[in-house]
Structure 1
């Protein structure tokens, strides 16, 4: 699969998933859905919308990737992971088909998710894009709504070297006549989205043009935000308490709330009280982990799956607002990730523990240490994430801070 081995697992067309789902009776046409793409934030927005729909009384499917600890995390209904029995049954029942089509791991997983959603008669499913959008295996659904979160540099070897090119791939999830919400107005990407939406007669809304942040208070485990909805005929203010406390959640919240408004316009019954209660309990309702997650006190231990320029930039800006005596950073990356810009964002005064996750795609810790030294980042390489984590905990005083970031697979090893 791409997340573990990289480009060798990437299938750059929709042929396999189309054949698979056709043989299954086209399950993607038998449930309502919301499609979510973006470089950063699509996972948080997917889980937030699923929590809101679930709290509103809808039987809600959720498909996301990659997983942290258990493959079944990718496929959920009302927060509950797909059963082991169904996973085994699906592979056994369709073994000959899989042998014939030779789909990727991701393609099999998408088909499995869609069949699970149909089998359990979900009211709606929130479907997160795996990579890009236009040629992603999830892009055979016909959603009620599309959402595209922040666009940043990631997977340039597959999606393009400019923000415009990357946005063009993400814009591939926009469908004829289907409303699309864009979370953030960016000069480079706005024309791309406007052009695509105009071509397909898809109503387009930029979330950050609808809402204005009046106040926000960030803690280790919650985020309080007061917003003003600016659009006529009903401008008003709202206050939300989120259990997703990362600094980037402000942008994600605007996309989530705008998506809720568009769903209400389609007669989905979503009460404000359910929005409030869901956003305060996204992790509990959906099982989301690894987003500015607190793992310990004295020393403060935080983990975040930030792994690209946009995500790492947000995390480092958040760290600048915190008080600690010494910062310890445990980090590792995949070897196909361009590191020059990302490493330049890390603070030189931190003590580093370079490590590698147990996957083929991981960049060797000693190679990362050499590269990081070019940017004034000093520390020791460790053969495993756990050894790096143990060393950091051993070296840290009670007033220090430990941060784990750089890769989903690194964070997974400490959860």
Structure 2
């Protein structure tokens, strides 16, 4: 099979969460354990860092991977979902896995996969671990797909675990309170393995402390060690002055990821780096600064507060839940513009009522839908939005929506595209 035929085969053969949603989620680790046993347990052959959280886990994973790479370590990075190509999910030193590697993995293991019938994600985890082991990475940063406790990645025994923000997302699977969701994320806390909590939240602190105590794991709340003295975020650039509370020294960082939510993520990243240094990793302050300032260039990350065009300014972001959209709106508020255009689409299994209630009524909306089966129909989204006095047009294809808005907007307007990872993935200009 060619690469395209291989990916099509996988989509047809295996349940894919980003296409069908909850039905693709396997609530145990049996298949992942079976795949890795079949492959010779590759996850036991390299060091790992495990990252979970509702929002921020992707950015945090890329920050840490960039810093390790700059420090000279051969660094694997596993993330999901992908935006343009499946190969984005599995990277070493920023370079995606070769298409030929994907083809050969599926061909060599096709009979086993057909017999086991794992999910698309379970198969991907096995492929990533196998690739990292064969390429002899020094360390791999592994981002959780969904939750933590029962996520397919949770068979690893990392050097360090990091949990970012906890907010409401996938409540039909993870629970409908922050404490329940935190309990699922806390499942990545391992025996005698340090864990960093990037963002302090009253509702979740007890959950994390209890799990860490049960596992004999040292727990570090990033805000206990670091604080932001000042920052300059005009919506298009982000500079931070961060105080190390233990040394009482401040450092200035420039982040290539620019959204307001990076303020919280970077504190967790700095705490994680401190622990890695204590474990013997040779990471300098210059490595940290360079990794943060060049994270997109180093890792190839896309879709995080990404500026796609100027005059008018057009920004896209993969934020897709209430907490993430709240941060997006905070960033938008810092930008000077004449008129705000919002091109939005969501998935059908997401509770968007809270998001719609939050969106600015003075914006002009274009409602679209991603090219995936889970997409919420644009006409239905428009109807829902009208109940919140959000008005605009329906243009199903996001690229046609962008072309329409560009034709209407003035040079000093602001265009935002988002609502779903899959809407962003469909953007031609990405």
Shorter-chain TM range is over 0.9
Match of 1:253 in 2: 266
Contact (CA 8 Å) 1:221, 1:293: kept in 2 or not?
no
Partners of 1:156 and 1:110 in 2: CA distance: 23
Partners of 2:203 and 2:297 in 1: CA distance: 36
Match for residue 72 of structure 2 among 35, 57, 78: 57
Match for residue 127 of structure 1 among 104, 129, 142: 142
Partners of 2:255 and 2:245 in 1: CA distance: 21
Deviation at 1:212, TM superposition (A): 1.2
Contact (CA 8 Å) 1:220, 1:294: kept in 2 or not?
no
1:110-259 matched pairs, under 5 angstroms: 110-231=125-246, 234-259=247-272
1:323-353 deviation digits (Å, cap 9, x = unpaired): 1111000000000000111111110000000
SS at match of 2:77: strand
Match of 2:379 in 1: 366
SS at match of 1:269: coil
Deviation at 1:17, TM superposition (A): 0.5
Partners of 2:299 and 2:206 in 1: CA distance: 34
Match of 1:48 in 2: 63
**What is the total number of aligned residue pairs between the two structures?**
413
Deviation at 1:100, TM superposition (A): 1.2
Query: What runs of 5+ residues in structure 2 fail to find an aligned partner?
Result: 1-15
Q: Which moved more, 1:209-218 or 1:139-148?
A: 209-218
Q: Which ranges of 4 or more aligned residues in structure 1 deviate by more than 6 Å?
A: none
* Counterpart check, 1:276 vs 2:297: no
Superposed CA RMSD in Å reads 0.8
Match of 2:4 in 1: none
Q: Which moved more, 1:1-10 or 1:257-266?
A: 1-10
Contact (CA 8 Å) 2:368, 2:396: kept in 1 or not?
yes
Match of 1:4 in 2: 19
1:214-241 deviation digits (Å, cap 9, x = unpaired): 111124543110011112xx22111101
1:148-180 deviation digits (Å, cap 9, x = unpaired): 000010000000000000000000000000000
Query: What runs of 5+ residues in structure 1 fail to find an aligned partner?
Result: none
Partners of 1:344 and 1:177 in 2: CA distance: 44
SS at match of 2:40: coil
Contact (CA 8 Å) 1:62, 1:127: kept in 2 or not?
yes
Contact (CA 8 Å) 2:235, 2:335: kept in 1 or not?
no
